[in-house]
């Protein structure tokens, strides 16, 4: 008999979902989430309060709905990636929504309370490997990809991840298929087959995932950090798994990995270790019945829950309290100060690390960062704990202070560390501050009280993990709210942050010649030494620094949450409330979500931007410098849940602000004032210029971003890549930026959108303030740059070049098939095609051919010119670029067969799935705003585009789709293939296979023309790559790293040859473009 019980789950007053906690007889605990009410609608019979019981017996009647995937805000960052780079070629296949149906996709997530900490010592990565293998069929549903086929057919998706102590699986699907999907999914935990013939393929997928993340500095630092743990401690493990740890070494040792996978599953995939969260527009009673019927069969092995309590003082080792230096992949200088604290999970009601991170990471007056920036030693700072498994687990809690250093800061790193220690000393002297704590508490409570809805699949994923950590009443709040001020707990935590307990890590390309040690798994270059005695002595008696003090009271915290009365008629879409030669303003009052929030977007268009690479760089510099100028004054707005963002667009810049409407005018006026009175010191200009140059470099280190840059530089008549911008910025001086900003403000066309909790008259005041403050004059429309796309000739055209990171094996190919200027109907047809293509692409290229971990099709809308693409990230050590391209071409033939044998019934099901996706309601106001703003940015103003697409989809026939695909993929194709070749690619791989060399290390490196590379994205620790090409070993590498630090070498693509039978070789991009025709300026039409 199932043991069922109910508990009250504390929830936000704005949360209209109903909850019930049940525990099955096998020990599995489930949270049932009934999500039947339209967003913004209050249930008549439910009292919404922080805690309480809801009526579970209500009969629910609603139409079938679908998912609520948030639209990506691909607006780049303040590091030099412009929105033009990110959005001018927007993938057209988006899970966009309109408020027609009353529900979202249903979703479920299951967390197994075991992860990589439980890996056996002789099989590193086994938990991650099992996460992959359980999806390879079950006794009830034996086909290997049956679940993926079912999910994709009905508009859903699925994923999984392995952490230190938890493994999470999740999926989403249309509501009417949710019960069957639950049954199919549950079989992976009841009776997975773990097929022996799937082992080889999935271990390659695990290895490919590892190879993809090999260039990421964050993972490199994490693995280096693992070497400092006590011997035998689970944090000292290699948790990713790869071919070496899961195939080659076990084979050498006679280990049966298949048998050990089965044993691991029986030992750890037990019902009483599992927590389940399910969300759907079903009644709680229905969900309870389904969960009982389906998940009661999950076995319970009766073993004690895995515990790591015996592992204490994780990093209390001589190797931890040292000074480390590390050579990064990126061009970046960083200081990382790390403390190891006891597990803090028992203090979740107080959250001492959040409190300390708030103070040490503050950027306002009196903060560590404000003082470091004043001295021009730092341009960024992060402090705290990321709350992921590696930094916060049952054995240990890590607290970090990470400083992004300027070159001058790196030279004064002792002084930088001293300032951090002085601030900590000040905190200890003053003791915990109740005022600061209660201010943080208020901000978190307001955010929770007016919490936006989140995507169901993300929501259940987070909740099912919380169920492993908190009591039922705090499943939704345990990781968010600060429940109580406890001076003793706060003091104990901050007292542990002493200089003698810190591990110090310096990261810089300048250390290339000083790092003889190699971390074995990621091959990271590093060195380790004692912390200088004179440093230790200086830190024993720290003098008071009068420039450091606690933050002052935050004036940006909202206090008025009144919903505004409307002063114009409500409308379904934004309406023009101002249209003049100077400005156009769109407005829509929120009538659905009923929250005291708003979004304000303004696009400032200028004829100065876009015509030359210098103009684009000047805009990037301005935005970065503006962000630095605003840090001290606007940081309070940021922590008070007000968001501001500057975005470089093709014709100018975009200002975006959002949050509680009460204080948005104050933030907006502050930003505009700083723009109007813009100035910058020579020291700040030089520091930001150096940082921006490095961010351009870091951008193209990522082969996927490099491929995208090159593709758009070929397709667009005028397009400046990160390489172009890096080259153009050399001679620019402070006076150039000041002159640019002055001229930029004089002539502008301003277009804006105000949406949310404002009246029409209040919306107009934003435009009035901006235009009035700038005293700008109108710009004739014909002076603004217009985007034009070039027509790819018929046939195959290949641009092949070496990836810039010499030690990265990752190759990326994007095969793009261009169509014609688009309208809503053609766009909908292409979206349908790509939706049909997704699962076969994954199955053929990843599962069967094992090309790589990342394979996907995309629907492309490049400034109104349509097309579709297939992208593969593979490893050059496994496949040559020509082999990979041939397999991608073979996939097109395979997919052609899929279409030819598709039944009308299956076609209709896919059409309905896409229509359902488009009918899903927005989860929060931001999704609706993003969709409306996109129509303003692209100047189509088709706010009803979704309705038009749905109408078009309902008229399509299977034959039309088959004919369109045949034409564009085969009979009249215009193919552009962009290929970035990783280290070990093409010729090298061929030589190895033919036996000319025995190992990759035996090859003599080539002598490339250019040493290093350039880039764009300054985001910390992504999938980045290293320096240059194939050079002589240590001496050449040191030279290259030195170049990274100074950024003085011009970079250019090193083109690789294309055989005549493959297609036209684009060896000279400029010459190739010269012979192309340009499409007229195009916007998607009705």
Percentage of the chain beyond pLDDT 90 is 83
Strands (E) located in 720-852: 749-756, 795-802, 810-821
d(CA 755, CA 753): 6
Element (H, E) at 905: helix 904-919
For residues 693-718, give the mean pLDDT: 96
* Banded pLDDT at 1049 (limits 50, 70, 90): low
**Beta-bridge partners for 584:** 579, 751
- pLDDT digit string (tens) for 812-837? 999 999 999 999 999 999 999 999 99
Weakest mean pLDDT among 199-208, 387-396, 557-566, 1060-1069: 387-396
708 pLDDT higher than 70: yes
- pLDDT digit string (tens) for 320-354? 999 999 999 999 999 999 999 999 999 999 999 99
- pTM greater than 0.85 (yes/no): yes
d(CA 869, CA 891): 12
Please, are residues 860 and 89 in contact by the beta-carbon 8 Å criterion? Answer: yes
Render the burial of 539-560: b for 16+ CB within 10 Å, e for the rest. Answer: beebeebebbebbeebebbbee
396 pLDDT higher than 80: yes
**Summary count for the chain: helices (H), strands (E):** 34, 27
42 pLDDT higher than 60: no
d(CA 211, CA 205): 10
d(CA 848, CA 240): 22
d(CA 72, CA 89): 13
User: What's the maximum distance between 2 C-alpha atoms anywhere in the chain?
Assistant: 81
Running DSSP on this structure, what letter comes out for residue 842? I
* Banded pLDDT at 686 (limits 50, 70, 90): very high
For residues 1021-1034, give the mean pLDDT: 33
946 pLDDT higher than 50: yes
Q: What is the pLDDT at residue 1005?
A: 26
Q: What is the pLDDT at residue 38?
A: 59
Nearest to 841 by CA among 808, 863, 811, 815: 815
Q: What is the pLDDT at residue 72?
A: 30
d(CA 592, CA 576): 20
d(CA 620, CA 688): 10
Name residues whose C-beta falls within 8 Å of residue 893's C-beta, 6 or more positions apart in sequence: none
d(CA 29, CA 24): 6
* Banded pLDDT at 37 (limits 50, 70, 90): low
Weakest mean pLDDT among 203-207, 291-295, 980-984: 980-984
For residues 473-485, give the mean pLDDT: 97
Q: Which long-range contacts (CB under 8 A, 24 or more apart) does 154-158 make?
A: 154/181, 154/909, 154/913, 155/66, 155/67, 155/105, 155/835, 155/913, 155/914, 155/916, 155/917, 156/67, 156/105, 156/181, 157/67, 157/457, 158/185
For residues 370-382, give the mean pLDDT: 97
1046 pLDDT higher than 60: no
Weakest mean pLDDT among 402-411, 589-598, 1027-1036: 1027-1036
* In the block, residue with structure tokens 């290929």: 979
Weakest mean pLDDT among 363-372, 572-581, 989-998: 989-998
Q: What is the pLDDT at residue 505?
A: 98
For residues 475-484, give the mean pLDDT: 97
Weakest mean pLDDT among 43-52, 759-768, 790-799, 929-938: 43-52
* In the block, residue with structure tokens 């070990």: 984
493 pLDDT higher than 90: yes
Residue positions counted in the chain: 1086
1050/830: higher pLDDT: 830
Nearest to 477 by CA among 14, 162, 11: 11
- pLDDT digit string (tens) for 120-166? 999 999 999 999 999 999 999 999 889 999 999 999 999 999 999 99
d(CA 722, CA 700): 7
Structure tokens at 705: 């971003």
Strands (E) located in 809-886: 810-821, 854-862, 865-875
Q: How far is CA 723 from the centre of its chain?
A: 24
Nearest to 257 by CA among 187, 198, 182: 198
Name residues whose C-beta falls within 8 Å of residue 863's C-beta, 6 or more positions apart in sequence: 88, 89, 716, 787, 788, 789, 1082
Nearest to 314 by CA among 239, 236, 384, 224: 236
- What SS3 class is residue 575? strand
Nearest to 367 by CA among 687, 636, 629, 557: 636
Running DSSP on this structure, what letter comes out for residue 706? H
Please, are residues 725 and 620 in contact by the beta-carbon 8 Å criterion? Answer: yes
Planar angle of CA 639, 363, 373, nearest 5 degrees = 155
For residues 280-285, give the mean pLDDT: 96
- pLDDT digit string (tens) for 832-885? 999 999 999 999 999 999 999 999 999 999 999 999 999 999 999 999 999 999
Sort strands 652-660 and 597-605 into parallel, antiparallel or unpaired: antiparallel
Average pLDDT, the chain: 88
Nearest to 44 by CA among 16, 68, 25: 16
504 pLDDT higher than 60: yes
For the beta carbon of residue 488, count every other beta carbon within 10 angstroms: 9
- pLDDT digit string (tens) for 55-77? 333 222 222 222 222 223 333 33
49 pLDDT higher than 80: no
* Banded pLDDT at 427 (limits 50, 70, 90): very high
The secondary structure of 54-115, three-state, reads CCCCCCCCCCCCCCCCCCCCCCCCCCCCCHHHHHCEEECCCCCCCCCCCCCCEEEEEEECCC
- pLDDT digit string (tens) for 787-799? 999 999 999 999 9
Q: What is the pLDDT at residue 39?
A: 58
Element (H, E) at 379: strand 378-384
d(CA 974, CA 792): 6
Residues carrying an active site annotation: 131
For residues 273-285, give the mean pLDDT: 97
Q: What is the pLDDT at residue 781?
A: 81
For residues 186-201, give the mean pLDDT: 96
d(CA 968, CA 959): 14
Q: What is the pLDDT at residue 387?
A: 82
d(CA 719, CA 924): 34
Percentage of the chain beyond pLDDT 70 is 87
């Amino acid at each position: 008999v199932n043991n069922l019980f109910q508990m009250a789950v504390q929830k936000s007053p704005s949360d209209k979902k109903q909850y019930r906690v049940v525990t099955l007889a096998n020990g599995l605990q489930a949270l049932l989430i009934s999500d039947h009410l339209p967003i913004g609608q209050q249930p008549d019979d439910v009292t919404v309060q922080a805690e309480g019981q809801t009526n579970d017996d209500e009969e629910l009647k609603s139409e079938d709905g679908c998912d609520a995937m948030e639209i990506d805000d691909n607006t780049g960052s303040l590091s030099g990636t412009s929105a033009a780079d990110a959005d001018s070629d927007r993938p057209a296949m988006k899970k966009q929504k309109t408020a027609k149906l009353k529900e979202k996709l249903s979703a479920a997530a299951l967390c197994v309370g075991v992860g990589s900490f439980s890996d056996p010592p002789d099989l590193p990565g086994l938990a991650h490997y099992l996460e992959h293998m359980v999806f390879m069929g079950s006794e009830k549903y034996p086909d290997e990809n049956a679940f993926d086929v079912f999910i994709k057919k009905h508009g859903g998706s699925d994923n999984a991840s392995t952490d230190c102590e938890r493994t999470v699986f999740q999926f989403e699907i249309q509501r009417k298929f949710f019960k069957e999907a639950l049954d199919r999914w549950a079989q992976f935990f009841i009776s997975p087959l773990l097929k022996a013939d799937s082992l080889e393929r999935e271990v390659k997928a695990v290895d490919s995932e590892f190879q993809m993340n090999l260039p990421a500095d964050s993972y490199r630092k994490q693995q280096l950090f693992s070497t400092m743990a006590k011997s035998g401690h689970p944090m000292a493990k290699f948790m990713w798994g790869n071919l070496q740890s899961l195939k080659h070494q076990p084979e050498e040792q006679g280990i049966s990995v298949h048998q050990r996978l089965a044993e691991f599953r029986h030992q750890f995939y037990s019902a009483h270790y599992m927590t389940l969260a399910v969300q759907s527009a079903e009644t709680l009673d229905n969900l309870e019945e389904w969960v009982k019927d389906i998940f009661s069969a999950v076995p319970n092995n009766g073993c004690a829950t895995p515990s790591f309590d015996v592992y204490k003082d994780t990093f209390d080792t001589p190797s931890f309290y040292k000074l480390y230096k590390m050579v990064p992949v990126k061009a970046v200088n960083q200081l990382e100060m790390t403390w190891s604290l006891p597990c803090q999970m028992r203090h979740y009601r107080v959250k001492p690390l959040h409190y300390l991170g708030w103070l040490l990471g503050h950027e306002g007056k009196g903060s560590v960062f404000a003082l470091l920036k004043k001295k021009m030693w730092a341009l960024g700072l992060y402090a705290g704990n990321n709350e992921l498994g590696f930094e916060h687990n049952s054995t240990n809690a890590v607290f970090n202070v990470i400083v992004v250093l300027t070159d001058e800061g790196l030279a004064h790193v002792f002084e930088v560390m001293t300032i951090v220690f002085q601030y900590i000393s000040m905190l200890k002297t003053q003791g915990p501050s109740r005022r600061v704590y209660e201010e943080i508490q208020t901000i978190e409570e307001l955010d929770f009280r007016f919490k936006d809805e989140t995507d169901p699949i993300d929501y259940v994923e987070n909740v099912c993990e919380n169920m492993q950590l908190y009591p039922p009443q705090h499943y939704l709040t345990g990781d968010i709210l600060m429940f109580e001020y406890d001076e003793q707990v706060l003091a104990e935590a901050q007292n542990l942050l002493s200089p003698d307990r810190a591990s110090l890590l310096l990261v810089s390309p300048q250390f290339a010649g000083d790092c003889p040690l190699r971390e074995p798994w990621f091959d990271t270059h590093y060195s380790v030494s004692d912390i200088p005695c004179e440093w230790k002595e200086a830190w024993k008696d720290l003098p008071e620094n009068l420039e450091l003090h606690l933050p002052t009271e935050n004036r940006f915290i909202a206090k008025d949450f009144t919903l505004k009365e409307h002063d114009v008629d409500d409308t379904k879409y934004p309406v023009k409330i101002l249209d003049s030669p100077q400005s156009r303003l769109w407005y829509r009052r929120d009538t659905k979500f009923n929250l005291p929030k708003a979004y304000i977007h303004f696009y400032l268009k200028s004829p100065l931007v876009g015509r030359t690479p210098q103009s684009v760089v000047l805009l990037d510099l301005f935005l970065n410098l503006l962000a630095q100028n605003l840090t001290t004054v606007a940081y309070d707005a940021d922590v008070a849940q007000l968001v501001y963002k500057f975005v470089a667009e093709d014709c100018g810049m975009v200002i975006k602000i959002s949050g509680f409407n009460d204080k948005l005018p104050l933030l907006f006026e502050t930003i505009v004032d700083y723009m109007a009175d813009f100035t910058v010191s020579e020291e700040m200009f030089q520091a930001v210029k150096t940082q921006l140059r490095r961010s351009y470099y870091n951008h193209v280190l990522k082969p996927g971003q490099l491929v995208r840059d090159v593709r758009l530089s070929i397709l667009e008549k005028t397009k400046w890549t990160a390489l172009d911008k890096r080259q153009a910025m050399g001679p620019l001086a402070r006076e150039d930026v000041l002159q640019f900003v002055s001229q930029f403000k004089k002539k502008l066309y301003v277009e804006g959108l105000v949406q949310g909790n404002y009246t029409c008259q209040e919306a107009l005041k934003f435009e009035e303030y901006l235009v009035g403050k700038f005293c700008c004059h109108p710009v004739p429309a014909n002076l603004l740059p217009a985007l034009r796309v070039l027509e790819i000739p018929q046939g195959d055209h290949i641009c092949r070049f070496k990836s810039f990171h010499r030690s990265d094996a990752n190759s990326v190919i994007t095969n793009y098939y261009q169509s014609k200027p688009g309208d809503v109907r053609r766009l909908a047809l292409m979206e349908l095609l790509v939706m049909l293509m997704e699962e076969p692409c994954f199955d053929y290229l990843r599962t069967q051919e094992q090309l790589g971990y990342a394979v996907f099709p995309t629907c492309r809308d490049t400034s109104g010119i349509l097309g579709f693409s297939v992208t593969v990230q593979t490893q050059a050590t496994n496949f040559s670029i020509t082999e990979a391209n041939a397999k991608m071409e073979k996939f097109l033939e395979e997919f052609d067969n899929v279409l030819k044998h598709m039944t009308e019934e299956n076609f209709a099901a896919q059409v309905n799935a896409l229509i359902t996706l488009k009918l899903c309601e927005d989860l929060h106001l931001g999704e609706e705003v993003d969709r409306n703003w996109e129509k303003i940015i692209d100047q189509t103003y088709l706010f009803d585009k979704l309705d038009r697409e749905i109408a078009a989809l309902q008229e399509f026939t299977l034959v039309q789709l088959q004919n369109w695909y045949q034409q564009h993929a085969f009979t009249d194709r215009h193919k552009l293939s962009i290929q970035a070749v990783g280290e070990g690619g093409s010729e090298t791989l061929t030589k190895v296979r033919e036996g000319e060399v025995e190992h990759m290390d035996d090859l003599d490196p080539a002598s490339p023309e250019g040493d290093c590379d350039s880039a764009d994205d300054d985001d910390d620790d992504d999938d980045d790559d290293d320096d240059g090409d194939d050079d002589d070993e240590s001496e050449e590498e040191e030279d290259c790293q030195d170049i990274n630090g100074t950024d003085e070498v011009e970079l250019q693509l090193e083109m690789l040859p294309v055989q005549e039978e493959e297609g036209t070789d684009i060896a000279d991009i400029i010459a190739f473009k010269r012979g192309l025709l340009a499409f007229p300026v195009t916007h998607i039409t009705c």
